[in-house]
A = this chain, B = another copy of it.
C-alpha cells in the first residue's frame, strides 16, 4: 500500500511498537512476537500483525520477529533512521524542559535552536543553547533547513508563531500551547496539552 494511503491511526501506533522494541534491545533481547508486543502495549497481537503487514513481511510464522531487524525497518518507515534537527519556540518552563529533554536521543530528533520573544531571555543559555530572537526565526530555520518545530508559547501567540514557522518551511508542528491553530493542507500539527489528557481521565472519577 502507498505510504499516503495508510490510515493515521495505524501510523500513530508504529512509534509505540518502535519504542517497545528499542526497550527490548536495551534489555538484551533478540527476538519477540506480536503476542509479547501486544501484552506490553495493551494492543491485540492481531492488530499489531495487521498494522505491520501494511508495510511488508517482517517476521516468519512461528519464529517471531528479529528485534534488531524490525527496529531498523520501523525506523526507516518513520524516517527516524536519521536525526532531524528540531526547533523550540518559547523558552519558558515547557520550552526549557523540551530543550533539555534527554528522551530524544536515539529516537531520531535533536533540538538545534531555541527562540523566544522576551528581550530578557534572548541571549541567555539553556544547556547548550543560546536563546535566539524570534525575529530571526524565519531566516535561521530556512538556512538550517528545519522541518520540525515544538511550539511552547502562550496560547495568544500560537497562531502568529505558527504562521512564521510555516513561512520558514516547517511542516511538522508539535503544539504545547493550549489552543488549536489553523494551518494549510500539507502542514501537520500534533497537540500536547496535559489538561486534555487529565480531563479524559477525570471523567471516570466520582
Roughly how many angstroms separate A72 CA and B23 CA in the complex, as a whole number?
Answer: 43
Contact call B84/A12, Cβ cutoff below 8 A: no
A77 contacts partner chain B, Cβ-Cβ < 8 Å = yes
Instruction: Note all chain B residues with C-beta closer than 8 A to A180.
Output: 16, 20, 40-42
As for how many copies of this chain the complex holds, the number is 2
A121 contacts partner chain B, Cβ-Cβ < 8 Å = no
Roughly how many angstroms separate A195 CA and B15 CA in the complex, as a whole number?
Answer: 8
Interface residues of A (CB under 8 A from B): 3, 8, 11-12, 14-16, 18-20, 23, 40-42, 77-80, 84, 86, 93-94, 96-98, 100-101, 103-104, 107-109, 147-148, 150, 155, 171-174, 178-180, 188, 190, 192-206
The 6 closest A-B pairs by CB, nearest first: A172-B201, A15-B199, A93-B97, A190-B197, A97-B97, A15-B196
